[in-house]
Each structure stands twice: as structure tokens, then as C-alpha cells.
């Protein structure tokens, strides 16, 4: 299956363009040019520009959710047992999804606001639920004494925005591999949350 459907090629091109210029900075003719057809011909494959954005954002949201779900599936005890382990797994999962396809991840992170109506609300809700996984593991860790007693909401926001910040600097062929970044980011996130081993 080296074949790629036209629809897939269009979403690939749109992801790259939305990543580079934003949703409203990209015209349907720009997307069409990237796949070498006329602007109007796009509509044989796609029902609207909004629809292309929705496809990209929704599928990427699902990938983030699936990656996080897989952690609990792999080790049902981790969520309630070792908070450090669970937080590390969440961070690695998130970094993995981002580095696996930055363009789509970038569109998910920055362009979901361009969605209209109930679709925007749905993504807002799902983003909040996803962020809540971070808030919960941190709050649990604080309660158990494993994590430093800072505000779990602020801590989760700090960590998650740091991870999302990857979309603005990660380059697949850069000096730092996805693997190294995952290691480093997991380390930094855990250290930020963790209680000191010895009181100062």
C-alpha cells in the first residue's frame, strides 16, 4: 500500500500549510496548488475547508487520547500505584504523538480555535478531559506525598504547555532525536513535580 489516496494527500498538504501559515492564512487554492490541481477541483474530494481542518484535528485528538489510554491498558496498576511512573508514561506518550507527526500535532495545538460551532466545543471538551489526566495524576501524587505540594492545575498547565511547545521547535532531522527529547522531557517533567528527596 504505497498508494496514497488523493484525500490523504490533500490532508497532508493542508497540515503542512496550516502548520506553516495557520488556517486562515491558507487558502483552498494554496492547498490545491500543493497537490497540483485547480482550487475548485478540491471539492471533488472534500466538502469544505472547515471539513479538512476538522479531519486533521479530530484524528489527532483521537491519537493523543489513544496513546494515553494505552498506558492504563498496558499496566492497570500504574495509574493508582506509582505516580512518578504514570506521569512519565503520560509525558512520553504525548511527546511520541507530537514527534510522530508534528504538522498535524501543530494544527491540533494551535488551529483548533478556528473550528466553528459544536465541533469547536467538542474539541475544547476533549482537550480539557485530556489535560485532566495530567491534573489527576499530579493531584494524586501530591496527596500521596510523592509530589511537591504546588497547585496541581498550574503544574499540569506548565507541563502540558511545555510539551505542546515542542510543535514550535521540533525538527524531525534535527540534532535531538524524538527518543532523546522524550527522555529529556520526561525527566524534566518528573523533576518539576517531584518532592525533594531531602528537605533543604
Partner DNA sequence: TGGCCGACCTAGCGAGCGTTAGTTAGGGAG
Partner DNA sequence: CTCCCTAACTAACGCTCGCTAGGTCGGCCA
Please give the residue ranges that form the binding site for its own copies (CB under 8 A). Answer: 21-25, 110, 114, 148, 150-151, 153-155, 157-162, 164-166, 168-169, 175-176, 180-181, 184-185, 187-189, 191-194, 196-198, 200
Binding to DNA by residue 29, rule CB under 7 A?
yes
Q: Is 137 exposed, middle or buried (0-12, 13-18, 19+ CB in 10 A)?
A: buried
Nearer to its own copies, 9 or 85 (CB): 85
Which residues 6+ apart lie within 8 Å of 158 measured at CB? 192
Q: Considering the complex, what minimum distance in angstroms separates the CB of residue 116 from its own copies?
A: 12
Q: Considering the complex, what minimum distance in angstroms separates the CB of residue 35 from DNA?
A: 8
Which residues 6+ apart lie within 8 Å of 193 measured at CB? 87, 138, 141, 147, 148, 155, 159
Per partner kind, with CB cut-offs from 5 to 8 A, the member of its own copies, DNA, none near residue 45 is DNA
Binding to DNA by residue 174, rule CB under 7 A?
no
Binding to DNA by residue 38, rule CB under 7 A?
yes
CA distance 184 to 191: 11
Binding to DNA by residue 15, rule CB under 7 A?
no
CB half-sphere exposure, 120, CA atoms < 13 A: 9
Nearer to DNA, 49 or 104 (CB): 49
- Contact at 8 Å (CB) between 126 and 61? yes
Binding to DNA by residue 37, rule CB under 7 A?
yes
Per partner kind, with CB cut-offs from 5 to 8 A, the member of its own copies, DNA, none near residue 8 is none
Which residue, among 3, 177, 14, 179, has the nearest Cα to 103 in the 3D structure? Answer: 14
Amino acid at each position: 500500500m504505497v498508494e496514497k489516496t488523493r484525500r490523504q494527500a490533500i490532508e497532508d498538504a493542508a497540515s503542512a500549510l496550516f502548520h506553516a501559515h495557520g488556517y486562515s492564512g491558507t487558502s483552498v487554492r494554496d492547498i490545491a496548488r500543493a497537490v497540483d490541481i485547480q482550487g475548485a477541483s478540491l471539492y471533488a474530494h472534500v466538502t469544505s475547508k472547515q471539513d479538512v481542518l476538522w479531519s486533521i484535528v479530530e484524528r489527532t485528538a483521537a491519537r493523543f487520547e489513544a496513546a494515553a489510554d494505552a498506558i492504563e491498558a498496558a499496566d492497570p496498576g500504574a495509574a493508582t500505584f506509582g505516580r512518578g511512573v504514570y506521569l512519565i508514561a503520560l509525558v512520553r506518550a504525548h511527546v511520541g504523538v507530537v514527534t510522530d507527526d508534528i504538522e498535524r500535532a501543530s494544527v491540533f495545538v494551535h488551529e483548533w480555535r478556528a473550528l466553528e460551532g459544536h465541533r469547536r466545543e467538542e474539541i475544547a471538551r476533549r482537550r480539557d478531559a485530556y489535560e485532566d489526566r495530567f491534573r489527576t495524576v499530579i493531584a494524586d501524587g501530591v496527596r500521596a506525598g510523592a509530589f511537591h505540594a504546588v497547585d496541581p492545575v498550574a503544574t499540569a498547565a506548565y507541563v502540558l504547555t511545555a510539551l505542546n511547545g515542542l510543535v514550535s521547535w521540533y525538527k524531525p532531522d534535527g540534532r535531538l532525536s524524538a527518543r532523546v527529547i522524550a527522555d529529556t522531557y520526561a525527566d524534566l517533567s518528573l523533576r518539576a513535580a517531584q518532592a525533594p528527596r531531602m528537605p533543604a
